C-alpha cells in the first residue's frame, strides 16, 4: 500500500486535509505534498510529528520502513543519538 493510501485513511478518520495536517503537525505543506505524492521520505522528526498529529504510530503510516524500499529513510541531525 502506498503512503498516500495510509495518509488518506488516517486523515479521513480525523476529517483532515493536507493543509490542516500541516498546521497540526508543524510539517510544511510542501513537505507533506512531497511525502503524499511519494516524491520524498520523511525525516524521523517529520514522521514523528505527522504520526502524532494523526494520533497513530509511525509504523501505521510507514509500515515497511525495514524493507529495502524504505532504506533511504533519513535520520535528521537532531534525531541522532550520540
DSSP class per residue in 16-68? --HHHHHHHH---HHHHHHHHTTS---BHHHHHHHHHHHTS-HHHHSTTTTSG
What number of CA atoms fall less than 13 Å from residue 53's CA on the CB side? 23
pLDDT at residue 81 above 50?
no
Average pLDDT over residues 43-62: 90
What homologous superfamily does CATH list for 3-74? lambda repressor-like DNA-binding domains (1.10.260.40)
**Average pLDDT over the chain, rounded to an integer:** 81
Q: What are the sequence ranges of the domains in the chain?
A: 3-74
Any idea which of 14-23, 26-35, 43-52, 61-70 has the lowest mean pLDDT?
61-70
* Residue 74, SS3 per DSSP: strand
- pTM for the model: 0.75
Q: For residue 77, what pLDDT is reported?
A: 54
Grid coordinates representing 36?
503524499
Mean per-residue pLDDT for 60-75? 59
Amino acid at each position: 500500500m502506498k503512503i498516500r493510501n495510509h495518509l488518506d485513511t488516517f486523515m479521513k478518520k480525523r476529517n483532515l486535509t493536507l493543509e490542516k495536517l500541516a498546521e497540526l503537525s508543524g510539517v510544511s505543506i510542501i513537505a507533506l505534498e512531497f511525502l503524499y505524492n511519494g516524491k520524498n521520505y520523511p525525516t524521523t522528526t517529520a514522521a514523528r510529528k505527522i504520526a502524532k498529529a494523526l494520533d497513530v504510530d509511525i509504523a501505521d503510516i510507514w509500515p515497511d520502513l525495514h524493507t529495502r524500499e524504505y532504506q533511504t529513510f533519513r535520520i535528521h541531525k537532531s534525531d541522532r543519538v550520540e
